[in-house]
Amino acid sequence: MFDTVLIANRGEIAVRVMETLRRMGIRTIAVFTDSDAGTRHVLEADAAIRISTYLSIEDIVRAAVDSGAQAVHPGYGFLAENARFAESCAEAGLKFIGPPAAAIDAMGDKIRAKATVSAAGVPVVPGSDDPSAADEVGYPLLLKPSAGGGGKGMRLVNGPGELAAAIESARREAKSAFGDDRLLVERFVTTPRHIEIQVLADHHGNVIHLGERECSLQRRHQKIIEEAPSALLDERTRELMGAAAVEAARSVGYTGAGTVEFIVSARAPGEFFFMEMNTRLQVEHPVTELVTGLDLVEWQVRIAAGEPLSLTQQDIRLNGHAVEARVYAEDPARGFVPTGGTVLALGEPRGVRVDSWLSPGTVVTSDYDPMLAKVIAWGPDRAAALHRLDRALADTAVLGVTTNVAFLRGLLADPDVQAGELDTGLVERRISGGTGSGIAEEFFVAAAVDRLIELTPAGGGVVDPWDVPSGWRMVGPGGVVFRLRAGETEALVHIEGLPESAVVTVDGSTPVQVSGRRVGDRLELHYAGEFRRYLRASDGRLWLARDGQCVAVGERPNLLASHGETTDAGPVVSPMPGTVLVVKVAPGEAVAAGAPLVVVEAMKMEHTLVSPVDGVVSELRVQAGQQVALDETLAVVTPRAGAELGHD
């Protein structure tokens, strides 16, 4: 067994791998870049070494050799599925805790992978490695990068008229994400469900599967909620799909932990097709661990050390049900744009598993993947697991960074999700009907009470009435008015009295009695006949979290707009921190409302910003390659008469 292992990754997967290595008595070495110097995976490792970038094979291999490590665990993402990295580790005398480079290479190219597993008798989706064969494959179809996964570069094409633009965009994103713009075209299975099989294979010819995971709840081909087992499969289908996954692994001489992904029609669950094989640990591996009782990281390490599997297929039993939700730094109310910030306070649930890299003070940037944590719940059946996960998310809060937690709770409550009637388009259909991310009135009330506490002299025994924030006038107290803003919502809140007994009115609604106090990092409120407790923190705005909702409330001065303000121009602002990929217009150019102006990339995802009005580009403030901040103005479009745009 290894004495020292270097973890060639960051964030929650680095922390999670360390937990197993520590339990196994193995010394852990972390690597980090300058922006990660004080993060949790660095602080929890036995030693940490600075590198230039997590993509530098040379830096990581050198760090492993210099630290005395015998093996390298790649986690997922970055170099986990890089055959050259596996080869470089071997050349340096290091064990790569993963499959052989040849298996990574064979399965990393989707075109070769389909041919390889098809020859082994595994069913594959009709497709081609030539996008010009789209008409032969048939519509609707999917364009997929040949060299990578994770949903990056994938495009759904419903008809011939969409093909050219989709190919251009998919090639550009694939080149950016994987350095390879080759595309695979596949028939799109209607009402598809994404089901994957976890496999383990040792160096002694033993290959087993650990059942399936249901991964159909996705947005932009990125998984959001995963569960094990699937509500769709019966025992016979599970056996057939598991056997196909085992054969797919055998076909490339696979060793270690891997995942074979299948697409299954919800209307015909007995018919399944191979999509791809992920030659690494999956983000969603915890649900398999909870229903099998196995530690997949431990088995990765043991297999890499040459140990044979001590389990046979007959030993594998699925116990109960597990569901995982991914907590992302993104804003559902603004189209799920990536967010960032400093973690001011953290609320984590008890009684469930939480895989996270966060701690108070952690700085979340747009440099890396936006996933912050995973919350995973187990129950004796699916209904119990879903309920426990919902309650756990209600106790989850990341103050200082906008996340998708409230959206996840809403998704879990969806009737189709509750019934197990899933497909990969369900989330997008729900989003098209709105995310339901409005700001509840209670947060404005809580913010006003908190501000009143701030203004009220501490210690009691107030003597000077001028010290009391009562809005006192000659005719008596008039209360205090706060103009508050959260997201795109504003509220005028009138509050009269002291924090322990006040009357509050929001936007002229019916006055309500309220009382509140601060206890440590909590704000306690009696309001509308209910006791409510909020986790609170401040960074100039007041962050409040309760029942899975986290809201940042700012106070604005009660002033009229200046005479110089105008709404004649249409500013185009960046919805996220990122990089300008393409500028599609020039200053002075006439554009129509909805015309693409700038393409911004964040987290390897492209976002096209369009003109808000018919007009002329009066200002263009960016160029390709430029870094931009959240809400930074990129261009200004000044309206002009329709006739000047060539309209009738």
The class that CATH gives domain 193-432 is alpha beta
**What is the pTM for the complete model shown?**
0.81
Residues contacting 579, CB < 8 A, separation 6+: 600, 601, 602, 625, 626, 627, 628
C-alpha span between 116 and 132 (Å, rounded) = 23
Q: In which band, very low, low, confident or very high, does the pLDDT at 333 lie, cut at 50, 70 and 90? A: confident
Q: Where are the domains of the chain?
A: 4-97, 127-187, 193-432, 441-456+479-556, 570-645
DSSP H or E stretch at residue 491: strand 489-498
Let me know: does 288 contact 343? Beta carbons within 8 Å.
no
Q: Which residues pair with 472 in a beta bridge?
A: 477
Asked: is 441-456+479-556 a CATH 2.60.120.260 domain? The reply is no
pLDDT tens, residue by residue, 193-220: 999 999 999 999 999 999 999 999 999 8
Let me know: does 384 contact 361? Beta carbons within 8 Å.
no
- Fold annotation for 127-187: Dna Ligase; domain 1 (3.30.1490)
Q: In which band, very low, low, confident or very high, does the pLDDT at 47 lie, cut at 50, 70 and 90? A: very high
Q: Could you tell me which CATH number the domain at 570-645 has?
A: 2.40.50.100
DSSP H helix total and E strand total for the chain: 16, 41
pLDDT of residue 630: 66
Please determine, for residue 609, whether its predicted confidence score (pLDDT) is greater than 60: yes
Q: In which band, very low, low, confident or very high, does the pLDDT at 642 lie, cut at 50, 70 and 90? A: very low
Residue (of 3, 324, 274) closest to 144 by Cα position:
274
| Four-residue CA torsion sign, 245, 251, 252, 253 | positive
Asked: is 4-97 a CATH 3.30.70.20 domain? The reply is no
Please determine, for residue 266, whether its predicted confidence score (pLDDT) is greater than 70: yes
Phi, psi of 386 (to 5 degrees): -60, -45
Question: Which range, of 192-206, 444-458, 601-615, averages the lowest pLDDT?
Answer: 601-615
pLDDT tens, residue by residue, 235-256: 999 999 999 999 999 999 999 9
Q: In which band, very low, low, confident or very high, does the pLDDT at 557 lie, cut at 50, 70 and 90? A: low
List the strands of the sheet with 353-356, edge to edge: 268-278, 256-265, 192-201, 207-219, 222-228, 321-328, 371-379, 353-356
DSSP 515-553: EEEEETTEEEEEETTEEEEEEEEESSSEEEEETTEEEEE
Percent of the chain with pLDDT over 70: 92
> Any idea which residue has 């043991």 for tokens?
302
pLDDT of residue 564: 36
